[in-house]
Amino acid sequence: MAKRVAIVVVMAFAACTGLPFELHATTFPNDQPPLGILIAPAGGPNPTPERVRHTPIRGQRPLGILLGPGTAFPPKTAAPAQSVTQPATIIPALARPIIHTPAPQQSGDRPLGVLIGPTSTFSLSSGPPDYSSSLFSTPTSAQPFVPANTTSIYPASVNSTPERPLGTLFRSKTASPTSSHVPTPKQATEIRPALPPKSSTSNLIAKSKPPVHFLADEMSFDRERGFVTARGNVEVRYGPRTLFANQISYDQNKDTASATGNVLLREPSGEKIFGDRMEVSGDLKDAIIVNIGIILKDHSRIVGTGARRSAGKVTELRKAVYSPCSLCPDDPSAPPFWQIKAVKIIHDKGQKTIEYRDAWLEFFGFPVAYTPYFRHSDPTVKRKTGFLFPRLGNSSDFGTVLETPFFWALSDHEDLTIRPIMMTSEFPVLALQHQLKMRAGEIESETSITDNSTGAFSTEEGKYGIRAHVKAKARFDLNRTWRWGVDLQRAADDTYMRRYGFGSPSSLDSQLFVEGFTNQNYFTAKTLIFQGLQEDDEQDKSPVIFPLVDFDHVGKLDPVGGRFIFDGNFLALTRAEGTDTRRLALHPRWERPFRGPFGDLYRFETGLNADLYHVNSLSRGSAKTDFDGFSHRLFPYTSLEWRLPLVKSEGRIRQTVEPIGSLAMAPNGGNSDKFPNEDSTDFEFDETNLFSINRFSGIDRVEGGPRINYGLKWGIFGEQGGSSTVFIGQTYRFRTDSTFGSGSGLEDNLSDIVSSISISPGSHLNALYRTRFSSDNFSPNRNELTFSAGVPAARIAGSYVFLDRQADSEFSGREELSVSANTIIDESWRASLNAVRDIASSEMRSIGLNAIYEDECVVLTSRVSRAFFRDRDIKPTDAITFHLILKTIGEVKSNTNLSSN
């Protein structure tokens, strides 16, 4: 291919100069592309590639002229060349010249030439135009090159690469265009900047500018005025930016371009700039735009009558409007849901902000708020220092409420949000939120403080005084095995957080811990402090734990297929009033699963609970005095569990039946009144712990005595994912155990019957029913139902809970029903209804109705609710809430609370 290119070049050159020529083609190793064109005197020796690459000895006649990229043409009276390292000259030939294409010398910063595609046409009657701008660029010469015949561009792509074009190729005997435009077929053209020599003796090494890529239906050149005009679906790509227009005219003297008709400038960030007319600089960074429109990265829009763009970063729009809302397709002239109109809008990409001067906030075309100055971050910003959108509300308890948060980006990994909350009926609240991310950990915190002690802002005659809360969390990795952390949660009083909207926890738990993980071991040591927020909680009786240590080890499989497991625990618990406990618990066990001859499955387990206690002031029920001192317990146990899973397939349905049984052996009793009960007060007998060795959740209580557990599980499954399962089971104890109180379901030899039914034929219906009923009269002692049904457009969900009160339990019995219904009215509107009723006391707990509207630019939520809850200074409240979120800007809240007794 290189030979054919060289032949075409020689023919063109001879045709232009009128010189006789003789063609000699030389093949070079590895079929490398030529550096340029070698023109040698007629009758001279036929140089070999070795001679071409060899520097001639001073005084000898050079082989010819090597015309490569950036070679300057001398004047017609140029002197003979002295060396190939000096500027090349054309030597008059008495005979036909010999043309050779020498092998290229590889150079990363020396491009071989300039490629000009077939759509770039120009007249050579007075020499080629000099395109030296950053937008258009072609090689220049020291002397105009006047061909004998008109010439057009020959498309060459032999061995070319985006970094190193081969050169400029010409084809003779082609009609020359005039200065008027010449229509050509629509083709893509790549133009690379020229590399002029730094001096007459330089080695043509220079940095290249980014290439310019063209796509147009036709182009024309006016050499006298220095204008290049492209018409018809013009596309110009320079670096990361692309300019589209119906017509683009480039002034090479001013290095500016004028684009008209459907003008679009596409930025590397994804931003799009539209205009009726655009005057741009050669690098597409500076511009003046008439009737500008901008689509930002998040699809928000800015339009204006005109704009000035500087350095590709700052765009200043006049009489502009900003809105992320889409226009109505039926009436595009109608105003959007909301917009901001301003005399001036400045989009600064460097600062990543959008500023407004003399701005109005409008809803559906009606102005509702004015500000002389407003600024927010553009869509590329994740976090930036500045004021957040204010929140405004009204409450019968607090009066008018105004919150103006300020976000402070302390660094790339740390920020602080300051939230002053002003209220007309109570003293203001100051809230702070802090976040810090580090390489080895993170810290998050939330604090607030207010004063209710004096003056018109006092609450219940200043009963509460200074009210505050703090919630903080920290996690740090020491290495790949160890980490430590802190959780701090405290409040000045029980109801402060719920009253001021900082959450509604029933207790606040603080801890400091360290923990480590290895392949089959886990270790943790922690200290804990509790603050109860219920009305009957007594802080002096809340425990302080220092320390609580746990160690767990799971061994590898031994030669017989079993596994050794060890759990260790140490607890030191102290109260200002009440029982103090010190406990050491060591629980080793060994288990082995195996399979029977009929496909039945077995699991054998044996273990020992070794517990040592030291207590102070332990109440012993009927005993007149409290117990102080040591006590211990050695409690061995063994269990064997058996299962026989059976499967039957019929067409697309698969059924399973699985009988389950287990035998547990352990000493009777094991729960002395000398052992405190700190972690086993919450007990619930159901199908999930029917086959457990110890049904208590903690360490302080064990389940003693021999017993048999049995149950049956049935399931049906479809190919499409639908399923239904039923389980029923029971326990028989050979001896009653006083550890289980009345109402627990295990107080008799024959336990209550536990059962569960799960129905899920598909995504439109899910239901789970769990029950425990007496084996004597089948009366229910526990019922729990959760369900959800419907399609996404209309769905209902609910739960029903009935629990009998258990003796010696900290939880009372309850019967409660909660229901919620949701509907999707259309693609923008949703509605929901929820209610909670206490059936035991025949009272409503809460009820609420929500309506939500959401589109691409706004979220509007309205809620009507009533809370019947009463707790000290928190009373039953009716509330009407209006919540407006302006996407990309912020949110506005409006609340109306009507307290009633």
pLDDT digits (tens, 9 = 90+) for 521-554: 999 999 999 999 988 888 899 999 999 999 999 9
Q: What is the mean pLDDT of residues 867-878?
A: 81
CB 755 within 8 A of CB 687: yes
- Domain ranges (residues) in the chain: 583-789, 813-901
Confidence (pLDDT) at 749: 93
Long-range contacts of 488-492 (CB under 8 A, 24+ apart): 489/531, 490/531, 491/531, 491/533, 492/464, 492/466, 492/467, 492/468
Burial of 329 (0-12, 13-18, 19+ CB in 10 A): exposed
Kindly indicate the confidence band of residue 477, based on its pLDDT and cuts at 50, 70 and 90: very high
Q: What is the pLDDT of residue 97?
A: 37
- Strands 98-100, 22-23: pairing kind: parallel
Q: Given this model, what pLDDT does residue 891 score?
A: 54
- Does 549 or 684 have the greater pLDDT score? 549
CB 250, CB 238: distance < 8 Å: no
Give CA separation, 176 vs 173, 532, 754, in Å.
Answer: 9, 95, 99
Question: Which residues pair with residue 243 across a beta bridge?
Answer: 236, 265
Q: What percent of the chain has pLDDT over 90?
A: 50
Q: How confident is the model at residue 176 (pLDDT cuts 50, 70, 90)?
A: very low
pLDDT of residue 13: 45
Residue with the bigger pLDDT between 278 and 841: it is: 278
Q: How far apart are CA 845 and CA 815, in angstroms?
A: 12
pLDDT(628) > 80: yes
- Of 840 and 35, more confident: 840
Q: What is the mean pLDDT of residues 688-693?
A: 94
**Mean pLDDT: which of 42-56, 59-73, 709-723, 872-886 is highest?**
709-723
Collapsing DSSP to helix, strand or coil, 422 comes out as strand
Residue 756 clears pLDDT 90, i.e. is over it: yes
pLDDT value, residue 213? 80
Q: What percent of the chain has pLDDT over 70?
A: 73
Q: Which of 2-16, 324-338, 559-573 has the highest mean pLDDT?
A: 559-573
Would you give the distance in Å from CA 455 to the centre of its chain? 48
User: Residue 271: is its pLDDT beyond 70?
Assistant: yes
- In angstroms, the CA 796 to CA 776 distance is 36
| Mean pLDDT of the 641-652 span | 94
How confident is residue 179, by pLDDT bands cut at 50, 70 and 90?
Answer: very low
Instruction: Extract the runs of DSSP E, i.e. beta strands, from 267-398.
Output: 272-281, 287-295, 301-310, 314-323, 338-348, 353-363, 366-377, 386-387, 391-395
Please provide the DSSP assignment of 800-819 as one string.
Answer: EEEEPPPTT-SS--EEEEEE
Q: CA geometry: angle at 531 spanning 527 and 533, to 5°?
A: 155
DSSP 8-state assignment for residue 874: B
> With 60 as the cut, is the pLDDT of residue 85 above it?
no
CB burial of residue 101 (10 Å; 0-12, 13-18, 19+) = buried
The DSSP code for 540 is: G
Tens-place pLDDT, residues 318-352: 999 999 998 888 888 899 999 999 999 999 998 88
pLDDT over threshold 90, residue 403:
no
**Per-residue confidence at 877, pLDDT binned at 50, 70, 90?**
confident
Instruction: Judge whether 835 and 819 are in contact, CB under 8 Å.
Output: yes
The predicted-structure confidence for 181-239, as pLDDT tens digits, reads as follows: 444 444 444 444 434 444 333 343 334 567 778 789 998 888 888 888 999 999 998 88
Residue 642 has pLDDT above 60, yes or no: yes
| CA count, 13 A, side-chain hemisphere, 772 | 21
Per the CB < 8 A criterion, the answer to whether 370 and 359 are in contact is yes
Structure tokens given for 72: 């300057």
Please check the confidence at residue 117 and state whether its pLDDT lies above 80: no
pLDDT score at 378: 86
Q: Are 120 and 241 in contact (CB under 8 A)?
A: no
- For the chain, the average pLDDT equals 79
Q: Which residue has the higher pLDDT, 837 or 152?
A: 837
The pLDDT-based confidence of 50 (bands split at 50, 70, 90) is: very low
Position 807 scores a pLDDT of: 61
Query: Above 80 in pLDDT, residue 780?
Result: yes
